[in-house]
Chain A
Amino acid sequence: MSLALLAPLGLAALAALALPLWIHLVRRLELVRVEFAALRWISPRARPERRIRIQRPWLLLVRLLLLALLALLLAQPVWQRGGTRASAWIVLAPGVNPVGARAAVASDGEWHWLSPGFPALGTGAPPSAGASASLLRELDATLAKDTPLTVIVPERVEGLDGERPRLVRPVEWRVVPGRMPARPPGPALPRTLALRLAPDQAPSATYVEAAVAVWNLAAPGRYTLDAAPAGQAVPPTADWLVWLAPPAPALDRWLEQGGTALVVGAGPAAGASLWPDAHGRPLASASRQGAGRLVTLAGALAPHDLPALLDADFPQRLHAALAGPPPAPTAAGATALRPTLDPGMAGEALPPRHSVHSLDAWLVALIAATFLLERLIALGWRRSPR
Chain B
Amino acid sequence: MLAPLTPALRAQLRDLRLASRRGGAAGLGQHASRVRGAGLEFAEYRAYEPGDDPRRIDWKLYARSDRHFVREAERDSALGVWLVIDTSASMGQRDAGPAAPSRLEAARQLAACVIELALRQGDRFGLLAVGGAAPLFLPAHAGRRQRDQVLLALERLNAAATLPDPARLLPMLERMLPPALVLLLSDFFDKSMVELALRLAATRREVLSIQLLTAGERDFPYAGGHRFVDPESGSELRVEAAAARRDYLERFAAARARLAQRFTAAGIRHAEYVLDRPLIEPLRVLFGGDRGSGP
The residues of A with any CB-CB pair to B shorter than 8 Å are 29, 31-49
Contact = CB atoms under 8 A, between A and B. Distances in A.
A154 to B, nearest CB: 84
A31 B222 CA distance: 12
A122 to B, nearest CB: 70
Contact of B217 (A31, A38, A43, A44): A38
A335 to B, nearest CB: 87
Given A37-B93, A37-B189, A39-B230, A44 B239 contact: yes
A34 B232 contact: no
Contacts of B199: none
Nearest to A29: B225
A41 B251 contact: yes
Interface in B83-108: 90, 92-93
A173 B188 CA distance: 106
Given A32-B226, A37-B90, A49-B240, 8 more contacts: A31-B238, A36-B217, A37-B187, A37-B231, A38-B187, A39-B235, A42-B228, A48-B225
A35, A37, A43, A48: residue with the most chain B Cβ atoms closer than 10 Å: A37
Interface stretch (B28-36, B202-210, B242-250, B283-291): B242-250
Contacts of B227: 31-34
Interface in B263-293: none
Given A41-B251, A42-B248, A48-B225, A36 B239 contact: no
Nearest to B255: A41
B216 interface: yes
A43 B229 contact: no
B260 to A, nearest CB: 15
B224 interface: yes
User: Which of under 10, 10 to 19, 20 to 34, or 35 or more describes the interface residues of B?
Assistant: 20 to 34
A38 B229 contact: no
A35 B231 CA distance: 6
A34 B255 CA distance: 21
A29 B238 CA distance: 11
B195 to A, nearest CB: 17
A36 B240 contact: no
A48 B240 contact: yes
B238 A36 contact: no
Contacts of A29: 225
B167 interface: no
22 contacts: A32-B225, A35-B92, A37-B93, A37-B187, A37-B231, A39-B228, A39-B237, A40-B189, A41-B248, A41-B252, A42-B237, A42-B244, A43-B239, A43-B248, A44-B237, A44-B239, A45-B247, A47-B239, A47-B240, A48-B226, A48-B239, A48-B240
Closest 10 pairs between A and B when the two form their complex, measured CB to CB: A48-B225, A37-B90, A46-B243, A46-B244, A31-B227, A36-B228, A39-B230, A41-B252, A31-B225, A41-B251
